[in-house]
Amino acid sequence: MPTQTDPCQRNWLQRLHQGPRRVKQLILLCIDSIALPIIVLFAFYLRIGEWHIQSHELIDLPLIVGSGLLIAYGVRVYSAVVRAFDEHFIQSAMLASVLWIMFLWALPSTGLIQTIPRSVMLMSSFFWLMHLWLSRALIRAVITELLQRSQGQTRVLIYGAGSAGRQLASAMSSMGEYRVLGFVDDDPDLQAIRLHGLLVWPGSRIGPLLRQQRVDEVILAMPVVGRARRREIVDSITMVAKTLKVRVRMLPGIEQMVQGELKMSDVREVDIEELLGRDPIAPNLALFRHHVADRVVMVTGAAGSIGSELCRQLLTATPTTLVLLDHNEYGLYAIERELCEAYPEAKIIAILGSVLDQPRLVRVLQRFGVETLYHAAAYKHVPMVEANPFEGVINNACGTYRTAMAAREAGVKTFVLVSTDKAVRPTNVMGASKRLSELVLQALAAEPVASNQVGTCFSMVRFGNVLCSSGSVVPMFRQQLAEGGPITVTHPDITRYFMTIPEAAQLVIQAGGMAQGGEVFLLEMGEAVRIVDLARQMIKLSGFTERTTANPEGDIEITFIGLRP
pLDDT tens for 241-291 read: 556 677 777 765 544 444 444 444 445 455 555 555 555 566 566 666 777
- HSE toward the beta carbon, residue 136, CA cutoff 13 A: 24
pLDDT of amino acid 257: 42
pLDDT of amino acid 332: 92
452 pLDDT higher than 70: no
Q: Which residues contact 27 (CB under 8 A, 6 or more apart)?
A: none
If 0-12 CB within 10 Å is exposed, 13-18 middle and 19+ buried, where does residue 469 land? buried
- Average the pLDDT over each of 120-124, 192-196, 248-252, 441-445 and give the range with the smallest value: 248-252
Q: How far apart are CA 129 and CA 135, in angstroms?
A: 10
Q: How far apart are CA 167 and CA 185, in angstroms?
A: 15
Q: Which residues contact 47 (CB under 8 A, 6 or more apart)?
A: 117, 119, 120, 123
3 pLDDT higher than 90: no
* Mean per-residue pLDDT, 408-434: 84
Q: Which residues contact 436 (CB under 8 A, 6 or more apart)?
A: 393, 396, 397
pLDDT of amino acid 502: 72
Cis bond before residue 486 (omega within 30° of 0): yes
Q: For residue 11, give the DSSP letter.
A: H
318 pLDDT higher than 90: no
pLDDT of amino acid 324: 92
Q: How far apart are CA 458 and CA 445, in angstroms?
A: 6
Print burial letters for 297-319: b (CB count within 10 Å at least 16), e (below 16): bbbbbbbbbbbbbbbbbbbebeb
Q: What single-letter amino acid sits at 224? A: V
Contact 374, 302 (CB under 8 A): no
The number of residues in the chain equals 565
226 pLDDT higher than 60: yes
* Mean per-residue pLDDT, 319-324: 90
Q: How confident is the model at residue 39 (pLDDT cuts 50, 70, 90)?
A: confident
pLDDT of amino acid 491: 78
What does the pLDDT look like over 322-342, one tens digit per residue?
Answer: 999 999 899 999 999 999 988
Q: Which residue has the higher pLDDT, 44 or 444?
A: 444
* Mean per-residue pLDDT, 354-382: 89
pLDDT of amino acid 8: 47
* Mean per-residue pLDDT, 57-61: 65
CA 538 vs. chain centroid, Å, equals 16
Q: How confident is the model at residue 59 (pLDDT cuts 50, 70, 90)?
A: low
Q: What single-letter amino acid sits at 328? A: N
The per-type count for the chain, helices as H runs and strands as E runs, is 20, 21
pLDDT of amino acid 18: 58
Top-confidence range, 95-99, 229-233, 379-383, 393-397 = 393-397
DSSP E strand boundaries for 353-435: 372-375, 414-418
Q: Which residue has the higher pLDDT, 455 or 432?
A: 432
Q: How far apart are CA 298 and CA 413, in angstroms?
A: 12
Please provide the average confidence, as pLDDT, over all residues in the chain.
Answer: 76
pLDDT of amino acid 553: 72
Contact 156, 181 (CB under 8 A): yes
pTM value is 0.55
DSSP E strand boundaries for 264-422: 268-269, 296-300, 321-326, 348-352, 372-375, 414-418
Q: How confident is the model at residue 169 (pLDDT cuts 50, 70, 90)?
A: confident
Top-confidence range, 58-67, 98-107, 226-235, 405-414 = 405-414
Q: How confident is the model at residue 2 (pLDDT cuts 50, 70, 90)?
A: very low
Contact 526, 516 (CB under 8 A): no
pLDDT of amino acid 535: 81
Q: What angle do CA 72, 109, 91 make, to 5 degrees?
A: 20
Q: Which residues contact 46 (CB under 8 A, 6 or more apart)?
A: 123
Q: Which residue has the higher pLDDT, 133 or 142?
A: 133
pLDDT of amino acid 265: 47
pLDDT of amino acid 362: 92
pLDDT of amino acid 276: 53
pLDDT of amino acid 161: 82
Q: Which residue has the higher pLDDT, 2 or 170?
A: 170
- What share of residues in the chain are helix, strand, coil (percent, to 5)? 55, 15, 35
Give the strand pairing for 154-159 and 178-185. Answer: parallel
* Mean per-residue pLDDT, 368-395: 87
- C-alpha pair distances (Å), 107 with each of 67, 113, 115, 117, 466: 10, 7, 9, 12, 78
pLDDT of amino acid 325: 92
Q: Which residue has the higher pLDDT, 1 or 285?
A: 285
State the DSSP string of 141-173.
HHHHHHHHHHH-PEEEEEE--SHHHHHHHHHHH
Q: How confident is the model at residue 402 (pLDDT cuts 50, 70, 90)?
A: very high
